[in-house]
Amino acid sequence: MASGFTQVIKASHKALDEMKYEIAAELGLPVYKGSEDYWGHILTKDAGTVGGHMTRKLVAFGEMALTQKTQES
């Protein structure tokens, strides 16, 4: 983790890690979760694609949560 970064929800790391591997599998990237988290054989472009998909999903989840919260009020 970067210095100065405070993780708000401690369990989020595991959930984000699972999302990362799920998206990589959907994209057909040859990464496997094992004892090491090594992505050195993946092109930077492909790793960025995984991050972009993660960001889109997280934004969609946030928008959905805000919409539901607004409708409840």
Residue 60 lies in a domain: yes
Averaged confidence pLDDT in the chain: 87
* Number of structural domains found in the chain: 1
> pLDDT tens digits for 5-29?
677 787 888 899 899 999 999 999 9
Say whether pLDDT at 2 is over 70: no
- Mean pLDDT over 29-58 rounds to 89
In a domain, 6, yes or no: no
Is 7 inside any structural domain?
Answer: no
Rounded Cα gap, residues 5 and 16, in angstroms: 16
Residue 3 lies in a domain: no
Q: Does a structural domain hold residue 49? A: yes
Residue 34 within any structural domain of the chain = yes
CA distance 8 to 27: 29
pLDDT value at 48 more than 70: yes
- Confidence band (pLDDT; 50, 70, 90) for 34? confident
What DSSP letter does each residue of 56-70 carry, written as one string? HHHHHHHHHHHHHHH
**By residue range, what is the domain housing residue 36?**
12-72
Nearest to 16 by CA among 45, 58, 65, 61: 58
Please check whether residue 4 lies inside any domain of the structure. Answer: no
Residue 47 lies in a domain: yes
